[in-house]
Amino acid sequence: MGQQESLEKTYHDYYSLLFAIAYRMLGSASDAEDIVQECYLRYAQASSKEIHSLKSYLTTIVTHLCLDYLKSARRQREQYAGVWLPEPMLTTELEEPVWHTVEQHESISLAFLLLLERLTPYERAVFLLREIFSYSYEEIAEIVGKSATYCRQIFHQAKAHISEHGRRYTAPSQEAQERLVERFLAATQRGEVQALAAALAEDVSWWADGGGKVYAAPYALHGRERVLSLLGGLLRKAPSWYPDLHFSSALINGTPWIVTWSKETLVAIITCEMTEEHITNLYEVINPDKLTYIQRQMQPHQ
């Protein structure tokens, strides 16, 4: 096998794992894609003498690239216009095992990615490598350049920080989620405000990420009446803003999302946290920069 073929095989064999780590670290699919590409370029220039375990070597590069990125991203995040939400990605056709355990599935949910924002970059790296990807403390120590004892401390510290900000969101069954999303989608398409109200919890909250590119409330809206008022206004005005406005649903970050199109352009996606009967939180991503990757994923499905 030639050197180029060997490089391409390595890239293919480890891409899913490296992308999965980078996406959870950064909360951005497009940035994760760039990180993995940079990892591949560095690996291509490395000497074989440097590499004792290829998996550990590649994971180390990706982790350090993510840590460097997060240090600068935190400064950018502080200046972000309004609510920040992770960049979503389509998960309908992800077949690799790295996405399909219960832990893997839950760890790409928007609720989990938001919890990770509570952690420092090193806490996030150690927590993900241990909790989600099942690396040993000894392996993690080599990857992040700390002692195994210190990594164990960081892991427990990270778990404590996540617990401080409430338990992880536990979604109802996939069938229950789909039923409720379909109710909400049908009411949205027909403009039926009362049907929307019946789907929302009394204390529902709405979070919208426009990134300063598209207008969105700079803070969360709380309570059924405020959220209904917003939805009612959007349903009245949106058709005049966007020609040929139409809706669909898709499995995004492991859960059903509502997808809003203007002709062939993706303009918004909305996901929900819910109980068996009501939607408790609505998250809308309308920042066009955060819709580029997922629109590219959806091209074959249009």
Neighbour tally for 150: CB within 10 Å: 16
Q: pTM for the full model?
A: 0.88
Task: Kindly give, in sequence order, each residue whose CB lies less than 8 Å from that of residue 95, ignoring residues fewer than 6 positions away.
Answer: none
The rounded percent of the chain whose pLDDT value lies above 70 is 88
Spell out where 167-301 has E strands: 200-209, 221-222, 245-252, 255-262, 265-274, 279-285
Q: Which amino acid is it at 148?
A: A
Going along the chain from its start, the domains and CATH numbers come out as: 3-164 (1.20.140.160), 174-301 (3.10.450.50)
Q: pLDDT-based confidence at 95, cuts 50/70/90?
A: low
Q: Which residue has the tokens 């670290």?
A: 25
Residue pLDDT, tens place only, 142-200: 999 999 999 999 999 999 998 887 555 567 787 888 888 888 888 888 878 888 899 99
In sequence order, the 6+-apart residues with CB closer than 8 A to the CB of 75 are: none
The Cα-based distances of 236 to 69, 71, 125, 224, 295 in angstroms read: 41, 42, 44, 18, 25
Task: Give the span between the Cα atoms of 184 and 270, in whole angstroms.
Answer: 11
pLDDT tier at 44 (50, 70, 90 boundaries)? confident
- pLDDT digit string (tens) for 261-274? 999 899 999 988 88
Q: How confident is the model at residue 93 (pLDDT cuts 50, 70, 90)?
A: low
- Give the chain's end-to-end CA distance (angstroms, integer): 39
The answer for 2, left when phi > 0, alpha when psi is -120 to 50, beta otherwise, is beta
Lowest mean pLDDT among 19-28, 110-119, 164-173: 164-173
